[in-house]
Amino acid sequence: MPRQAYVNGRYQPHKEAAVHIEDRGYQFADGVYEVVPVHDGILVDEDLHLDRLDRSLSELRIGAPMSRASLKLISRELMRRNGLSNGFLYMQVTRGVAPRDHKFPKGAKPALVMTTRQMKPHSEKVLAEGLKVITLPDQRWDRCDIKSVSLLPNVLGKQAADDAGAYEAWQVDKKGMVTEGTSTNAWIVTGDGKVVTREATNAILNGITRISLLELIRKEGYDLEERAFSVEEAKGAREAFLTSSTSFVLPITQIDGQPVGNGHPGILTGKLRQHYIDYVKSLRKTA
Ligand code: PDD
């Protein structure tokens, strides 16, 4: 069976699935989304993702498209239809379809789209060599805590990274402090072994991988500081890494062309990646 997508109440062949030209997501980027990782058929941290979806919707005053139980049923049905065991589920909710007008439309129904994508495990090369990041000014708005589909600065930043032969761009605020990557959270390990990541304010998206990894770090008893760090501090750090639903925990070995630490993936980074993978695997037993 060809891959399917869920669009406003119907399962359709992914290739043909479409929304209306006056969907406000299309015209105004007036919508939000979630990317939920799927590992061995399990939706990782599903409720945390749905909590964040609820929060994004309520911050933008968009109604819930349906109950949480219904969202979960559709997620599972789409995964079943697509035979998805490893990859991710994409969920997007917009304010709905209405004649173009900036004001909130009266009576529009939130529009819901879900898709799935298979993903291969991260390559051995990435794990052995680490990733390169560049830094650039953070050009986004003051509500980066909302997971909005309005992602132009992120798109431009990721392309700038790619153009420079790097995987990710770390965005930097006006004070010279790193906020986050264009689609990942940013972390360093200091010379004295402290794990540092920026505190969750409106300046970053509070990643679900970030939340779960913070819990594991506390449980394992590693030193932790939730605070902003500068580009200079990152360049002088012992280790650096990034987190996201599609990356889990991946080592960074170069920032703006300068090696981080000894230029090899960090030892603590490797441990944290393993703790996170063990956590994801443990979900299978409790699901
Ligand atoms: N990106 N910061 C930004 C700006 C993001 O877009 C993401 C996620 C993250 C990490 O969040 P999480 O751990 O919940 O995935 C941080 C998704 C994967 C994307 O846009 O594809």
- The tens digit of pLDDT for each residue in 10-42 reads 999 999 999 999 999 999 999 999 999 999 999
Residue 89 pLDDT greater than 70, yes or no: yes
Mean pLDDT, range 199-219, rounded to an integer: 98
Judge if the beta carbon of residue 208 lies within 6 A of ligand 1: yes
Give pLDDT, residue 286: 66
Give pLDDT, residue 121: 85
Report the 10 Å Cβ neighbour count for 131: 23
Q: Give 174-187 as a DSSP string.
A: TTSBEEEESSSEEE
Report the 10 Å Cβ neighbour count for 15: 10
Whether the CB-CB separation of 154 and 180 falls below 8 Å is answered with no
Query: pLDDT class for 103, splitting at 50, 70, 90?
Result: very high
Considering 72, 132, 147, 158, which one is annotated as catalytic?
147
Give the residue whose CA is nearest to atom 3 of ligand 1: 183
Give pLDDT, residue 122: 85
d(CA 76, ligand 1 centre) in Å: 22
Query: pLDDT class for 116, splitting at 50, 70, 90?
Result: very high
Secondary structure letter of residue 114 according to DSSP: E
| CA distances to 31, 32, 93, 140 from 58, in Å | 11, 10, 12, 20
Mean pLDDT, range 236-263, rounded to an integer: 98
Tokens of 42: 């399990």
Q: Is 215 exposed, middle or buried (0-12, 13-18, 19+ CB in 10 A)?
A: exposed
How many angstroms separate the first and last alpha carbons of the chain?
27
* Substitution site in 32, 35, 171 for ligand 1 pocket (most atoms within 8 Å of beta carbon): 35
Give pLDDT, residue 287: 63
- The tens digit of pLDDT for each residue in 144-184 reads 999 999 999 999 999 999 999 999 999 999 999 999 999 99
Residue 52 CA, closest ligand 1 atom number: 14
Mean pLDDT (the chain, rounded): 97
Rounded Cα distance between 208 and 43, Å, is 12
Judge if the beta carbon of residue 212 lies within 6 A of ligand 1: no
Q: Catalytic annotation on 106?
A: no
Amino acid at 148: S
Judge if the beta carbon of residue 179 lies within 6 A of ligand 1: no
Residue 71 pLDDT greater than 90, yes or no: yes
Residue 45 pLDDT greater than 80, yes or no: yes
* Substitution site in 44, 48, 185, 243 for ligand 1 pocket (most atoms within 8 Å of beta carbon): 185
Give pLDDT, residue 1: 76
Q: Give 87-106 as a DSSP string.
A: EEEEEEEES-B-SS-SSPPS
Q: Quick one: residue 263, left, alpha or beta (phi over 0 = left, psi -120 to 50 = alpha)?
A: left
Judge if the beta carbon of residue 206 lies within 6 A of ligand 1: no
Give pLDDT, residue 285: 66
Mean pLDDT, range 198-225, rounded to an integer: 98
| CA distances to 12, 101, 110, 184, 198 from 97, in Å | 19, 11, 8, 30, 37
Give pLDDT, residue 100: 98
Rounded Cα distance between 10 and 17, Å, is 9
Whether the CB-CB separation of 275 and 219 falls below 8 Å is answered with no
